[in-house]
Amino acid sequence: MDKPTIDIVHKRREQVFEAVVDGAHCVLDYQLSGNIMTIMHTGVPDVVGGRGIAGALTLAAFQAARSEGWKVTPACSYAAGWIERHPEFADLQA
């Protein structure tokens, strides 16, 4: 069975990636300082947990960092674990 597509919105001014899944608000917050994106928090409500939403948000953040020429500091525990499982993005670590 295919995973449903998760529509992610990057709100640059607010420094957040957001997705609404089945009415639940899911987020990845970051802080940008110069060309360093620090991922501060990834939050997915339990009601929609286990669907790969946090991973999709984190992937979107790393893809944005790559396209912008940013380095990434994964300060939140989820993002830190994610980068260990995705060595193809290791070159982005600050």
- Domains of the chain, by residue range, sit at 9-92
Q: What's the topology of domain 9-92?
A: Aminopeptidase (3.40.630)
DSSP type of residue 35: T
Query: What phi and psi values does residue 20 have, to the nearest 5 degrees?
Result: -115, 120
DSSP type of residue 2: P
Can you give the pLDDT at residue 2?
Answer: 46
Question: Taking Cα atoms as reference points, which of 87, 45, 44 lies closest to residue 62?
Answer: 87
State the average pLDDT over residues 32-57: 96
State the average pLDDT over residues 41-45: 97
Model confidence over 49-89: pLDDT tens digits? 999 999 999 999 999 999 999 999 999 999 999 999 999 99
Tell me how far CA of residue 71 lies from CA of 5, 29, 39, 45, 48, in angstroms. 27, 15, 11, 28, 30
Global confidence as pTM: 0.93
